[in-house]
A and B are shown apart, each in its own frame.
Chain A
Amino acid sequence: MRQLAGAALMLLLWALPVLAALAMLLPGAIDGEAWAALLQHPQLWPALALSLFTGSVSALLALLCTLIIAAGFYRSRYWAMLQQVAAAGLALPHLAFAIGFGFLIMPSGLMARILVGGEQPPQWVTTQDPLGLSLVAALVLKEVPFLFAMAWSVLSKGDAAGHLLGQSRAAASLGHGRGSIWLRIVQPQLLKRMAWPLVIVFIYGASAVDMALVIGPTQPPTLAVVVWQDLNDADLAHNARGVAGAMFLTIMLAAVLLLSFSFIALSKRARARFRSAGPSRLGLPKRLAFSLAAMIIAVTLGVTLLLVLMSSAPRWPWPVLLPPNHSLAAWETFHHASAPLWASLGLSLATSLTALALTVAWFETRPPQHDRWLLGLALAALALPQILIVAGQYRLFLLAGLSGTWAGLFLAHLTPVVAYVAIVLAGPYRAFDIRFAKVAQSLKAGPFRMWRLVKAPLLKGPLVMAAAVGFGVSMVQYVPAQMIAAGRIQTLPVEAVTLASGGNRALTAVYALMLALPPLIAFSLAALAGRPRWR
Chain B
Amino acid sequence: MALILHQASIALDGRPLIRPFDLAIAAGEIVTLMGPSGSGKSSLLALIAGDLDPPFEGHGQIELDGTTLDTLPPERRNIGRLFQDDLLFPHLTVGENLLFGMPRGDRAVRGKMMEMALKDAGLEGFGNRAPHTLSGGQRARVALMRALLARPAAMLLDEPFNKLDAELRETIRGFVFSHISDRGIPCLLVTHDRADVPEGGRVLAITPQGEVRHD
Contacts and interface: CB of A to CB of B under 8 A. Distances in A.
A177 B73 contact: yes
Interface in B63-94: 73-76, 78-81, 83, 85, 87, 89-93
Interface residues of A, number: 28
A172 B110 contact: no
B91 A192 contact: yes
A167 B150 contact: no
B179 to A, nearest CB: 16
Contact of B78 (A175, A189, A275): A175
B194 to A, nearest CB: 26
A278 interface: yes
Nearest to A169: B51
Given A169-B83, A173-B79, A174-B100, A278 B92 contact: no
A170 B86 CA distance: 9
B100 A184 contact: yes
B109 to A, nearest CB: 11
A281 B110 CA distance: 19
Given A173-B49, A175-B150, A281-B75, A167 B104 contact: no
A279 B76 contact: no
A176 interface: yes
A276 B104 contact: no
A275 B96 contact: yes
Contacts of A166: 83, 85, 87
A183 interface: no
Nearest to B50: A172
A174 B146 contact: yes
B90 A189 contact: yes
Given A170-B83, A174-B146, A174-B150, A279 B75 contact: yes
A272 interface: yes
A531 interface: no
B85 A177 contact: no
A277 B89 CA distance: 15
Contacts of A180: 75
B70 to A, nearest CB: 16
Given A167-B89, A169-B81, A189-B91, A278 B49 contact: no
Nearest to B156: A173
A438 B76 CA distance: 50
Nearest to B151: A175
B150 A172 contact: no
A171 B95 CA distance: 15
B99 interface: yes
A278 B97 CA distance: 10
A306 interface: no
Interface string B160-186: 000000000000000000000000000
Contacts of B87: 163, 166-167, 169-170
B20 interface: no
Contacts of B76: 175, 281
User: Which of B75, B93, B95, B105 gathers most chain A CB within 10 Å?
Assistant: B75
21 contacts: A166-B85, A171-B75, A171-B101, A172-B49, A173-B150, A173-B152, A174-B75, A174-B80, A175-B101, A175-B150, A184-B100, A188-B91, A272-B93, A276-B100, A277-B99, A278-B100, A278-B102, A278-B103, A278-B104, A279-B103, A281-B75
Which are the 9 A-B pairs with shortest beta-carbon distances? A174-B101, A276-B99, A278-B104, A172-B74, A173-B81, A276-B96, A170-B87, A174-B150, A172-B75
Given A272-B93, A275-B100, 6 more contacts: A174-B80, A175-B76, A178-B75, A192-B91, A279-B103, A281-B75
Interface of B: 49-51, 73-76, 78-81, 83, 85, 87, 89-93, 95-96, 99-105, 110, 146-147, 150, 152, 156
